[in-house]
Structure 1
Amino acid sequence: MPTFDYRADDARGRPCKGRLEADSPRHARQLMRERGLWPRTLREVGTGDGANTQPRGGRLKAAELALLTLQLSTLVQAGLPLEEALEAVAKQSARRRVAGLLSAVRSRVMEGHALATALGQFPKAFPELFRATVAAGERSGHLGHVLEQLAAYTQARQASRQKIQMALVYPLILMLASVAIVGFLLGYVVPDVVKIFVDSGQPLPWLTRALIGVSDALRNHGLLLIGALASLVGFWRWSLRQPTLRLRWHHLVLNIPLIGEVLRAMEAARFASTLAILGKSAVPLVDALEIAAAVIGNLTIRARMVDVARSVREGGTLTRGLEQSGDIPPMMLHMIASGERAGELDRMLARAAEQQESSLAARIALVVSLFEPAMLVLMGGVVLLIVMAILLPILSLNQLVN
């Protein structure tokens, strides 16, 4: 729907200005008269102005997407027309970016497009899973119920992501603090202390000489080392944007002990929960498999899940395809197989995803609980080496004096 800037006189004759949305200039003047305004000038805002271009490149946070989906589902289930529900959610939004995005979606709905088609104009804000689920809800005539399920799914994914992030905060802070403390000791404390022993002219123990070498390297080539690390990080990020190198990296990560197992569990839980919400929304199984495969972040596992979708399309069973992929844990395979035999695949997929996420959370908590004492022991060992490197020359001088 076009947007117009206007200048007008109110009922008391005072000049005012503002912006409104209308189907045409005539409709805009009619809306102004209904508000008690007498239009003086009316100008349509170009496509490059204002908020019309902002939503196209904008992204929505998971919390924002879950909130607006829940609000929209409540209004639609209450019997409110879709365009009015979109307008109400846009007005209730506290963020102008979200409000502008919803207004742009509403404009396309007012032009006669389906909601899923309108959402498809903003792929960065509304992922493929979201759009496919909405399209299925529109086809089945239960859009409100599907939106409610979608909101619950988005909130659950956000909660799971926050749990993992919160579990990794403390180990990360501990690691950064350890590196900073050791760097400070080697860069500023050790040189001043060891200088006394160097000036004495006495032979130094090998541990002290090694410590002096590390300290001199950090002081003389610290900036070069930081630049090399920054270049390495930049090269790594560049390689992730190259399809071939990114595929090799993803394959390599899966073969790393412990990390590969955690990543497989994460992708399996994401795949099962995505497939469950699509199945509940009446999306055909083959289409749901292709969409769920696109949601997977690891390219190696994604390619195997695409092969699973292809095998199901050719007439194979889902359980057999997942078993051949080798990325789904055995317990999940048993639950999916029982659900497929009993005709309750959607429910068993949801239960399998919940169980896998609980197991993943427990595994991450175990890894974090082991990482914290390991970092403390490692830091204590480094500090002990530094102290020993300083104390050994002192003991040697005492023996020499005696």
Structure 2
Amino acid sequence: MPQSGPPTTDHKTQEFRFKWQGINPTGCLKSGVLIATEMSTARAALKQQKIIPIKIIHQGRAKPAALRPTDITTFSRQLASLLQAGLPLLATLEVMAASHPRAPLSRVTHALARAVAQGQYLSTALADYPQFGPMYCQLVAIGETSSALAPLLAQLAEHREQAAAQQAKLRAALSYPSGVLILSLLITTALMIWVVPTFQQIFESFGAPLPTPTRIVLSLSSAIAHGIAPVTFLIGSGIFIAALGLRRSTVLRTAYDHLRLTLPIIGPLLRQLAIARWTHALGTLLKAGTPLAEAFNSMTRITNNAVFDQATCTILQRVQRGERLAQAMRATGCFPPTVLQPIAIAEESGSLDTMLNDLAMLNEQQVDMRITLLANSAEPLIIIVLGLLIGGLVVAMYLPIIQLGNII
């Protein structure tokens, strides 16, 4: 059997790409690429698929698996269900790896099963995949030491499902009016470029002065027709540069997130959503038995907002100096009194984890109400904007014709 480039296994979690050709059970020649830790593992994987290998070529190290947020939620829910059914951890991971249709998740689950089989804790193996995040690994570690892994995974899956549903509602509430407004602007631009100039030729034949609204529309039409190409290029370049800067610069990302929090209507909604995520994460960690300072170390990027991430670091530093949690939170300016006062009371009574989870539930309910209100108010706003755009354009174009008819 020809082979090329024997893989080196300098790290037990390192994975490699193998290009293969073989014969399937029906006698047809097949080829493909698979990910494995070494050549023998690649052969075993092909044998499990009942493929007789003819050629296997090692193609170097494999790229990291691209896990989606839904993959992590699915992994958590399936793992929790199988563990609650009584299966051992290793057998559960092997079953999930063999049965899941998504190749990246199946690959990661295979790697986790190998690590567990070699004696690693699941939380340690998960740390090799940054998509899971510090909080996820911390809770899994607590579940492993307390023999409560299945309930904690079920709780993680439920929280992720609720957060995804809320995110989908927010996206739908914002995307519908945004899409309609963008479409209306595109239609208006097309009218200004191709339709309005036709009216201008007709108006010139009248030989009479044009009304002010018509002159304004004609001037805008001429400006758009001559400047559409450079303006489109500048806008596209600006969006590309801004997106690149937000991805690579922490300062720009923080400024952008701060700007989003100050926007009318959207800003308070995003702030309340970040507060709900923050309090839920801290409450869950404290309820699981994590010390307060260690809990903050596990909450990096939990809110998907750089302003709150910096606030978390500031709170950690102040708590480590001996400040009370409510006082440290107040110093960041990110939390309203409706959150700070209950937390200060809960610190005195020793029920901080319960209060944080209650605050998270209350803020999530208020976020849902705000999203519903935003979605309901979007329709009349769209009608008003469309009426102003299209109605104003039609009136400006037909006003000279009406005036000419009155003169005749």
TM-score by length of 1: 0.84
1:243 aligns with 2:247: no
- Check 1:7–1:169 CA distance in 2 against 1; reply closer, same or farther (3 A cut): closer
Specify the alignment match of 1:145 in structure 2.
151
2:305 is aligned with what amino acid? N
2:60 aligned counterpart, secondary structure? coil
- The 8 Å contact of residues 282 and 296 in structure 2, kept in 1 or not, is answered as yes
Q: Secondary structure at the match of 1:48?
A: strand
**How many angstroms apart in 1 are the aligned matches of 2:20 and 2:178?**
53
Distance in 1, Cα, partners of 2:21 & 2:179 = 55
How far apart, CA to CA, are the structure 2 residues paired with 1:255 and 1:232?
Answer: 22
* 8 Å CA contact retained: 1:140, 1:282: no
Match of 1:182 in 2: 188
Is 1:257 the equivalent of 2:269? no
The code of the aligned residue for 2:358 comes to R
Do residues 83 (structure 1) and 90 (structure 2) align? yes
Root-mean-square deviation (CA), in Å?
3.6
Deviations 1:140-198 (A, max 9, x none): 33222221221112112112111212222321232123213322322222222232111
Shift in alpha-carbon separation, 1:5–1:87, aligned structure 2, 3 A = farther
1:201 is matched with: 207
The answer on 1:92 being equivalent to 2:99 is yes
Task: Give a deviation string over 1:178-221, Cα, whole Å, max 9, x none.
Answer: 21332232222222223211123222122211111111222232
Q: 2:292 corresponds to which letter in structure 1?
A: L
Letter in 2 for 1:230: G
1:73–1:148 Cα contact (<8 Å) kept = yes
Change (3 A) 1:75 1:47: farther
**Which residue of the partner structure matches residue 58 of structure 1?**
66
8 A Cα contact 2:278 2:303, kept in partner: yes
| Alpha-carbon distance, 1:331 to partner | 2.5
Residue 233 (structure 2) pairs with residue 227 (structure 1):
yes
Q: Quote the offset at 1:25 in angstroms.
A: 5.3
1:34-68 Cα offsets, whole Å, 9 max, x none, are x9x9x99897x74736xxx25x241223x322222
- TM-score calculated relative to the size of structure 2: 0.83
Paired AA for residue 202 in structure 2: I
Partner-residue secondary structure (3-state), 1:160: helix
Structure 1 Cα separation of the partners of residues 272 and 339 of structure 2: 10
5 Å matches for 1:1-400?
46=58, 48=60, 53-54=62-63, 56-61=64-69, 63-123=70-130, 125-240=131-246, 241-400=248-407
Q: Is the 8 A contact 1:286 1:313 kept in 2?
A: yes
Q: Secondary structure of 1:94's match?
A: coil
| Conserved? CA contact 2:280–2:360, under 8 Å | yes
- Are the aligned partners of 2:77 and 2:157 in contact in 1 as well (CA < 8 Å)? yes
Q: Residue 180 of structure 1 aligns to which amino acid in structure 2?
A: L
> Structure 1 regions of 5+ residues with no counterpart?
none
How big is each residue's C-alpha offset from its partner over 1:202-253, in whole Å with a ceiling of 9 and x where there is no partner? 2212221111111122223222221121122123213313223333333333
Q: CA deviation at 1:98?
A: 1.3
Indicate if the aligned counterparts of 2:19 and 2:58 stay in contact, CA closer than 8 A.
no
Q: Which residue of 1 aligns with 2:5?
A: none
Aligned residues: 389
CA contact (8 A) 1:134 1:143 kept: yes
Report the 3-state secondary structure (helix = DSSP H, G, I; strand = E; otherwise coil) of the residue aligned with 1:294.
coil
CA–CA separation in structure 2 for the residues paired with 1:93 and 1:287: 34
2:65/2:108 contact within 8 Å kept: no
Structure 2, unpaired ranges of 5+: 1-11
2:143 touches 2:149 (CA, 8 Å); kept in 1? yes
